Amino acid sequence: MTQSGQPALEARLAAISGAVDAGEVEEAAERMAGYDSALRNYIETTAPHTPVEVLRELLRMQNDLLLQMRDRQAGIGELLRRTQRQATAANAYTSTEDVL
């Protein structure tokens, strides 16, 4: 992979982001593995002249993706907690009706 590898790597990160947004966890994981392999290949192919600015941009994009994944995880966690509270409240209400 040569300098033209940067757009391909950026496209891979964008595809991972899209999979995360769509809730396609398995797809995102598969794409992440492919990205990791492609990134390693890019670095091995371009070293020792790997452009630092390219690596910085890819790192920035990776960090943005991690934040996106954490936000998604937090949203799912909150949804699960809310669902659990609703289920607990419904069970308590049902139990109260049975007593009356």
Where in the sequence is the domain holding 33, given as residue range(s)?
5-99
32: tokens are: 């992440």
Mean pLDDT by 10 residues, the chain (100 residues): 74 96 94 96 94 96 96 91 88 72
Domain count, the chain: 1
What secondary structure letter does DSSP report for 47? T
Q: Is 15 exposed, middle or buried (0-12, 13-18, 19+ CB in 10 A)?
A: middle
In which element (H, E) is residue 78 found?
helix 52-99
Separation CA 32–CA 8 (nearest Å): 13
Residue 88 confidence (pLDDT): 87
Residue type, 71: D
Predicted model pTM: 0.74
